[in-house]
Amino acid sequence: MCHTLLHDPKLHTLLTEADEERAARVRAAGCFCGGRLHSARYPRKPRGIPRELRQVSYRRHSFCCNLDGCRRRHTPQSVFYLGRRVYLGAVMLLATAMRCAVSGCALRELCEVLGVPRATLDRWRVWWNRDLLATPFWKVAAGRFMPPLAEALPASLLARFGTTDPAVQLLQALRFVAPLSTVTEAR
């Protein structure tokens, strides 16, 4: 299920549209100093992209204030990228959720299909279940769930966004963790 969802062009369209929508809102709001924001997109080479989508040029939305003396950068939250990580946020979320459910031969196949080393999957699992829980974001955001989420993140997070469409479910979960994708938008 994981790798078929990642190969679905609909998912990439949903993620791209969500990022463009957020970027448009940040740009329209302008800079805190009153200046206009100019596009300052920068290239990314994300891992975990299906072969058929690798020819697309991936660029992260970012803006820069036009006023001398300010020039502050504004990087909107993203559902496509999870901060400075090199893998797509969708890959990181889905692969870690699957990692908790598989072992042995199925785990090797998961790593091979996604091109993610097992050590990386294990590191992501630690991040989701230890490092994320210690962030100020999570301490506030976790209160939105009643009953509280189980420790088996991100699978329990995905389960809370239950819809009939797995691509929409993933998009909702990525929107929820999008504040982790940047530090500059909330300044």
Q: What is the pLDDT along the chain (187 residues), one digit of tens a residue?
A: 566 788 788 888 888 899 999 999 999 999 999 999 999 888 888 887 766 666 666 788 999 999 999 989 999 999 988 888 888 888 899 889 888 788 888 888 888 888 889 999 999 999 999 999 999 999 999 989 988 887 789 999 999 987 788 999 999 999 999 998 887 655 4
**How far, in Å, CA of 73 to CA of 64, rounded?**
4
**How far, in Å, CA of 156 to CA of 68, rounded?**
47
pTM: 0.86
The token pair that represents 36 in the structure block: 């206009």
* Residues whose CB falls within 8 Å of the CB of residue 64, separated by 6 or more in sequence, listed in order: 37, 38, 40, 71, 72, 73, 74
Cα torsion for 67, 23, 157, 11, to the nearest 10°? Answer: -150
19 DSSP assignment? H
